[in-house]
Each structure stands twice: as structure tokens, then as C-alpha cells.
Amino acid sequence: MNDLAHIPAWQRLSNEITTSGMPAERNLRDFIRAGIKHVLDLTPKGHPEAFAGEEHELRLLGIGYTRVEVPFTEPSEEHYAAFVRAVEGLPRPLHVHCVVNRRVSAFFYRYHLECGWNESEARAMMARQWEPDRSDEPAAAPWGEFVHEARLASERRRKVPDTQDERTRAENTTKTG
């Protein structure tokens, strides 16, 4: 898949997933050249910076389109769960965008942690766009909390021992002891 660095906040996460801010209509044909099969848009319908005809134009080009509306001021567990279902269920290569790649990068930060990435790797990927938990920008506050909670949950998961491993060790100790 080719990179499309001329699209605002373009970022490659893997061979099958790219992200960005809002693509312009002139950028949509570039998605074909890049091999993108589906676009996931996290921008709320009617957002003033949204590209109103995006779904129609992409479908004309043979590219699938899915919208998961995530309000910038109130990211929720329901929004994140819908994002995960979409990311895991949509055709690849997949391109995920919002207005400036902030919603997307914060959601992928949590997703990467849940997939087992270490915090510094997940943060480095997000930091290419922003770090809401380290921002003084008032609008970043709900995202700072979202990222902070994701990090804490990841730390808790890493501290919980695998009960299957404990059971196996206990059984082996009983058999050999």
C-alpha cells in the first residue's frame, strides 16, 4: 500500500491500516492507488469540517465506507466498542480518519494497549498526532481522561497473573512433590 503523506495527519499503523485527518474530495482517488478497500470515519454526521459526499464518492470508486460517530467532547465506552467492532470486522486494507486524527489516534492508543503493545510503543504512535493527557488544551480534557484510563487498565491487566499458568504450576508442583 502506498503512503499518502499529502493527506492531513496521514499515518501508517501497519501494512493493513492507515489513519489521517479529513481527506479532501481530490484525495479519494488516491485511496484506490493506495489499495484501500474500506474507510472508517469517526467524524459525527453534520460536523462543519466533514466531507458531506464522502460516502457516496467512495462507493462510486468501489471503496466501502462505515461511519462510527464519535463526538469530540464526549468519547464513551460505547463509541470505543463500536470502533473496535469496525476495526476488527471491516475489510482490509482499512483507512480510519476523523477531522484531524485525534479521535482516531487516541482510540488506537487504547486498542494497541489492549492488543498487548507496551505503553511506550502505543504512546509513540499516538504522539505523532497528539498527547491529550499531556495537553493544556481544554478540549483535550475528555480525551486525556480516556487515554489515562486506558493506560491504567493496561497496567492492571499486566499485573494480574495468568490464572491458567498458576493452575498449571500448582498441578505440576502437586505431581512432582
- Give CA–CA dist 14/93, Å, rounded: 9
User: Is residue 32 in some structural domain?
Assistant: yes
> What is the reported pLDDT for 163?
54
For residue 170, being part of any structural domain is answered with no
- CATH (domain of 82): 3.90.190.10
Question: What local confidence, expressed as pLDDT, does residue 174 receive?
Answer: 45
The total of structural domains in the chain comes to: 1
**Which candidate, 25, 35, 84, places its Cα nearest to that of 57?**
25
Q: Is residue 2 part of a domain?
A: no
Count of beta carbons in the 10 Å neighbourhood of residue 51: 18
Q: Which of 135, 128, 132, 138 is nearest to 151 (CA)?
A: 132
Give the pLDDT confidence score for residue 3 in this predicted structure. 84
Residue 75: name the closest of 96, 95, 98 by CA: 98
In a domain, 31, yes or no: yes
Cα separation, 15 vs 167, in Å, equals: 38
Strand partners, 95: 18, 39
3-state SS, residue 97: strand
The confidence score (pLDDT) of residue 88 equals 98
Rounded-to-integer distance, Cα 166 and Cα 163, Å: 5
In a domain, 3, yes or no: no
Range of the domain at 43: 11-163
Residue 173 domain flag: no
pTM attached to this predicted model:
0.88
Does a structural domain hold residue 141? yes
What is the block-wise mean pLDDT of the chain (177 residues), using blocks of 10 residues? Answer: 88 97 95 96 95 95 98 97 98 98 98 96 97 95 97 89 53 48
Domain membership flag for residue 177: no
